[in-house]
Amino acid sequence: MSRPLFLVDALPEGDELLLDGPEGRHAATVQRIGAGEELLLADGRGGTAEAVVTAAGKNALTLRIQSRAYEPAPDPRLVVVQGIAKGDRGELAVQAMTEVGVDEIVPWAAARSVARWRAERGGKARDRWVATAREAAKQSRRAWCPAIGGDPDESTAVVAGRLGRAAAALVLHEEAAAPLATVALPARGDVVLVVGPEGGIAPEEVAAFEKAGATAVRLGPTVLRTSTAGVAALSVLSARLGRWGST
């Protein structure tokens, strides 16, 4: 069984760390990790450490750092603009995309988004995405936690601006002619991929994105749900960019 990973605000400069708070409570009480067991620490910004438990309390663990490492930020970066979906579909998308290696997720208030993030509700919904990404990063043993970028619900105009600045801008669309498997990809910079909500991307949105320089692409002959389209596309991109082995 692989060693569990716990996120900390910062890795210690010395050789010892008291893992307390929510992470320490989860490690000591829920996972029942005891003295002599090994675990991983990460700061969510590339820094990692291997540690062994020297003492276990009720809600905290005392750790001795055994080794440290740093994983550089991926380049190109994979950024997904995710149309806001109703229910838990957005959180399902965030979880799965984090597990396969997305670097940033941007919530998008698409024309056909049923759910709307406004005022306090929007802040709480965005916080759920942040928490979901954090837990998925821990589960998948990631050194980097993906950022949940932008405002609680970025507009189509703001998304178009982001696409215009990207090294590669792609829009998943079932009627696109270009396959994602063969579209040109950059060696560096942001690869920004737009995924629509349940009702898909409206024609005027596709037009705005293409005017900004984006290319409409398709995965295959079938239409995927908003909660699975992004993770499928990221799998293709990760393989093509060499993140999952040589191309």
Structure confidence at residue 152 (pLDDT): 66
Indicate the burial class of 203 (C-beta count within 10 angstroms; 0-12, 13-18, 19 or more).
Answer: exposed
Query: How far does Cα 159 stand from its chain's mean position?
Result: 17
Residue 183 structural domain: 77-241
**Same domain as 109, residue 63:** no
Summarize pLDDT for 202-238 with one digit per residue, the tens: 999 999 999 999 999 999 888 899 999 999 999 999 9
Reported pTM: 0.92
Residue 155 within a domain: yes
Same-domain status, 91 and 175:
yes
Backbone angles phi, psi at 245, to 5 degrees: 105, 175
In this structure, is residue 135 part of a structural domain? yes
Identify the CA nearest to 164 among candidates 110, 213, 105: 213
Residues 167 and 223 reside in one and the same domain: yes
pLDDT confidence tier of residue 1, bands split at 50, 70 and 90: low
> How many Å from the N-terminal Cα to the C-terminal Cα in the chain?
29
* CATH number reported for the structural domain that contains residue 132 in this entry: 3.40.1280.10
Q: Give the per-residue pLDDT at 120.
A: 76
How many whole angstroms separate alpha carbon 67 and alpha carbon 65? 6
Count the domains in the chain: 2
**What is the pLDDT, as a whole number, of residue 247?**
41
pLDDT digits (tens, 9 = 90+) for 97-139: 999 999 999 999 999 988 888 767 788 889 999 999 999 999 9
Answer whether residue 190 is part of any domain: yes
Same-domain check for residues 60 and 178:
no
Q: Report the alpha-carbon distance of residue 170 to residue 2 in Å, rounded.
A: 35
Instruction: Provide the pLDDT for residue 153.
Output: 67
66 and 81 in a single domain? The answer is: no
Domain boundary among 25, 44, 70: 70
Compute φ and ψ for 52, nearest 5 degrees.
-120, 145
